[in-house]
Structure formats: structure tokens, C-alpha cells
Amino acid sequence: MPPHLRAAWRRTLAVLAGLLGAAVLVGLAIGQVGWVLAITALGVLAWHYWRLRRVLLGLTARRRWEPARGSGAWNELDHLLHRNQVEIRARKRRLLDMLRAYRAAAAALPDAVVVVDRNTQRTIWFNRAATDLLGLRHPHDLGAPVVERLQPLPLARWLVAGRNAEPMLDAPSPVDERMRLNLRLIPYSEDYWLLVARDVSKLLRLEQMRRDFVANVSHELRTPLTVVHGYLDMLDPADFPPWQPMLAEMQKQSQRMTRLVEDLLALSRLESRDSLPEEPVAMAPMLATLRREAEAYSQGRHAIEVHDHAGCDLLGSTQELHSAFSNLVTNAVRYTPADGRVEVDFARTPDGGAVLSVRDSGYGIPEAHIPRLTERFYRVSSSRTRESGGTGLGLSIVKHVLGLHQARLSIESTVGQGSVFACHFGPERVQARQEDPLALPATEHVAR
């Protein structure tokens, strides 16, 4: 107990002792000690009950507490209550100021922010941008069902997913369908969600302009490249011995430019599509084809192994999946030194899906480069890529093909030990295998 409280408590006890002592003296003087002492004790008890009632009424009424004058225990209690009340009021003012500042900041955001009750899926609060981007009106839409107010956005199943809800990258605005929105659901507590909508119309238009530009330039380059390549084929280096190195280099660069244009056109075609035609993809013939392609590209310089442990087929586009798988296998052979090993493995995953992995014993990739490998024209080593004939677009094509199949690409690599590129497919893409005469045995090995 602090010294001042101990002193106040002692003063109160001294006053009580003095009153009882005076009562005893008065009782002795009049010969009625018991009665005088009892009346004095009842008076002291009544006074203490009155002070207690005063404290309880003050706390119940939540009135501003005024510190009492005096130095007894009840006066110290008044002082403590007054001090606590002042501190609580100051803390409330600070919290209110912070809340107003946060709400003002959220209201000033260019993105629409909507606070949604998790259980009822009703709007609790939204900022000004939500009016412009989502059409919500204050106060009419406060407490209204968010799914109903944001029609025709498909929010019902999206909200049910909760923490697992994937962002909507391109959705029409309820205000104007020409305005495109990026929607994200952020569960920031057990009871509330944060729905954030961003206007990405300009970005999507710029992206479309970029795709159109690349596609148009690629189409325009195809014809002159065909002409140049044709004339170069007509020139026999044996007829022009001094020009033989130059003609060989021109033919090499012409072929590389042709491959680059074809890859750009393929990438533009994939980017312009939202889905692919779905058909059963027979994986046994696919693996046999990949084996033959790897063997032909390697020309006996590598050990090629193909393992088929999945025993299932996939659902998707045979042509596009072959393009993606072939890119991975070709890259593995291209970037693996002679006498190295390339292994293609098709297996099931614990969740019922399937994974096709391509493992090599090549140079390996530094960890810092792995996140950027699927970017267009990104190269870990420009000179090595040019020497091997790569265009820098193969992994971008693989990424887009897998994205259209709701699949993903994972990359693991260790410098000096090799790399593993794996295509992961969900259970919805797995089908029972149809019997095929071209089916590979569980393990197929092609020696050098």
C-alpha cells in the first residue's frame, strides 16, 4: 500500500477510535455506556454506508467525479476515482482521434473498402470510393446484404470460401460493366471481412494494347522473315566460299528469329484466351512422344529416363500441354552438359492430383533468379541462352498453358547439381487411364 494511503487509513481508524472513546466517556458520565456506545457505532456505520452509496451512485450515473476535500480513506478513494476517470477520458479521446484518423485514411483511399459482417454478410461500413466503384450509397446500403447490393458480381460462393477465396482479377463493376475491378477478400478478424476493390481498367487496356502490339508486330515480321529465309536457302555456301561463314551465321540468326516470332505468336494466342477446349489427354502416348523428342534433341549425348507411375490421364488441351511439356524437356536437354541425365516422371499426388516433373543434372539456377524465370525474355545467362538457341519465352508459354488448366509450375534448383521443373494438376484434371497400345512401362530408360 502506498504511504499516503496507509496514512489516510490510519487517520480514519484514529477518528473512529476517538469517536468510540468519546462515546465511552459520555456514557460513563451519564451512566449509560452501552446505549451511548451502540448509538455512536450505528452512527459511524450509517455514515460509512452513506459514503458507499454516494460512490455507487456516482459510478452508476457515470457523472464527472469531483475530488472531495479531506484526508481520510473515503477522500483518498474519491481522489483515485477522479484520477482514473481523467485517465480513462484521456485514453478515450486518444482512441477516438486514432479511429477518426484511420477512418479518414480509409475514406480517402482510391480503392473501394467495404467492411462485411462474416456471419450475416451485411455491410458494416464503406468508404467514398465504394460509391464510385461499387455503387454503394450511404446510409441506404449500411446493414444491407452485400451480395444483393453488388449484383451482378458473383459474390455468394466467393464469400463462402472465406479465407480461401482467390482474388477476382477481372470483374465488371456494378456501376459500369466497362469498368473492370480487382476484388480481394481479407478476413482480418473472426467476425469481420474486408472487401477491397481496385479499378484496373487502365491496366487491362494497357495490357491488351501490349498484347495486340506484340501480335501485330509478330505477324508483320513473319512474311519478311520467310522471304529472307527462303532466299538464304537458295544460296549454296559451296558456290560462294568466301561468304560461307557469313551465310551460315545469317541462316542461323534467321532461324532463331523465326522461332522467336513463332513463340511470340503462341504466347499472344494463349494470353488472348480465357479457357481451352477440354478433352482427355492420353498421357502414355504423350510420354512416349516426349521421350522421342528428348532422344532426338540429345542426339545420344544424354541419358534419358521416363517414368510413368501415375497410371492416369489428364483433362485439357493435348496440343497445349504437349507444347508446355516439350518446352520443359527441351530446356532440360539444352542446359544439361553432355553425359548428363534427364528424367521425366509422371506421378500422383496425395491430394488425388498429378504431377509431371522434369529433372536434369545440368548447371543449376541460382536461387535469386528462380522467381523471375517465367518472365518474358528473362535469362539467367544471356550468352548461354543465345548459344543454345533459346528465345527466352519457353517458360512464359509453360506458365500460361498451366494457368489455363488451373495448374501451377514449381521450380527447384541447386547450382552445380541440376533442376526440377514440375507441373502440378489438381484432382479435377485427373481421369482414369484408357488402355493404349503405346503405353509405356512404369519405367522406360534410354541409354546413351
Report whether 309 contacts 345 (CB < 8 A).
yes
Q: How confident is the model at residue 70 (pLDDT cuts 50, 70, 90)?
A: low
Taking a C-beta distance cutoff of 8 angstroms, is the pair 385, 379 a contact?
yes
For residues 408-436, average pLDDT = 89
Is the distance from CB of 433 to CB of 308 less than 8 angstroms? no
State the Cα–Cα distance between residues 289 and 248, nearest whole angstrom.
Answer: 31
- Percentage of the chain lying above the pLDDT 70 cut: 90
Looking at the predicted structure, is the pLDDT value of residue 355 above 90?
A: yes
Query: In angstroms, what CA-CA distances link 168 with 131, 154, 171, 173?
Result: 19, 10, 6, 12
Angle at 291 between CA 295 and CA 428, to 5 degrees: 155
Read off the pLDDT band of 447 (50, 70, 90). Answer: very low
Mean pLDDT of 105-123: 88
Q: What is the mean pLDDT of residues 416-421?
A: 91
Q: What is the pLDDT of residue 246?
A: 84
Alpha-helix residue ranges (DSSP H) falling in 197-243: 201-234
Single-letter residue type at 250? M
Distance CA 104, CA 107 (A): 5
Torsion sign, CA atoms 308, 310, 313, 318: negative
5-35: pLDDT as tens digits: 677 677 777 878 888 888 888 888 888 888 8
Q: How far apart are CA 136 and CA 113, in angstroms?
A: 11
Residue 353 above 90 pLDDT? yes
**Least trusted range by pLDDT, from 15-19, 93-97, 139-143, 324-328:** 15-19
CA proximity to 36, closest of 46, 26, 48: 26
Compute the distance between CA of residue 287 and CA of residue 284 in angstroms, rounded to an integer.
5
Q: Comparing 281 with 188, which gets the higher pLDDT? A: 281
pLDDT for 217 beyond 80: no
In one letter, which amino acid is 260? L
Confidence of residue 445 (pLDDT cuts 50, 70, 90): very low
Between 386 and 368, residue with greater pLDDT: 368
Measured CA to CA, the distance from residue 376 to residue 131 in angstroms comes to 38
- H-state helical runs in 116-174: 128-134, 146-149, 156-161
| Mean pLDDT of the 377-386 span | 60
More confident residue, 106 or 347: 347
The answer to whether 134 and 150 are in contact (CB under 8 A) is yes
DSSP state at residue 413: E
Predicted structure pTM score: 0.55
Share of the chain above pLDDT 90, in %: 21
**Which pLDDT does position 282 carry in this prediction?**
92
Greatest mean pLDDT range, 41-50, 184-193, 249-258, 287-296: 287-296
Q: Cell for 327?
A: 518446352
Band of pLDDT at residue 138, cut at 50, 70 and 90: confident
Q: Inform me whether the pLDDT recorded for 325 exceeds 90.
A: yes
> Which is higher by pLDDT, 107 or 344?
344
* Dihedral sign, Cα of residue 431, residue 432, residue 437, residue 442: positive
What CA–CA distance (Å, rounded) separates 432 from 280? Answer: 10
Highest mean pLDDT among 93-107, 230-244, 375-389, 415-429: 415-429
Query: Bridge-partner residues for 438, per DSSP?
Result: none
Q: What is the pLDDT of residue 448?
A: 45
pLDDT higher than threshold 90 for residue 419: yes
In the predicted model, what is the mean pLDDT of the chain?
Answer: 82
Q: What is the rounded average pLDDT of the residues 357-375?
A: 88
pLDDT digit string, tens, across residues 397-412: 889 899 889 899 999 9
Sketch out the chain's domains with CATH numbers: 3-100 (no CATH), 109-199 (3.30.450.20), 204-271 (1.10.287.130), 279-446 (3.30.565.10)
Higher pLDDT, 107 or 420: 420
Of residues 174, 173, 197, the one with CA closest to residue 186: 197
- Which of 71-80, 82-91, 185-194, 292-301: highest mean pLDDT? 292-301
Q: What is the pLDDT of residue 166?
A: 80
Contact 373, 395 (CB under 8 A): yes
Predicted confidence at residue 65, as pLDDT, reads 64
> How many Å from the N-terminal Cα to the C-terminal Cα in the chain?
89
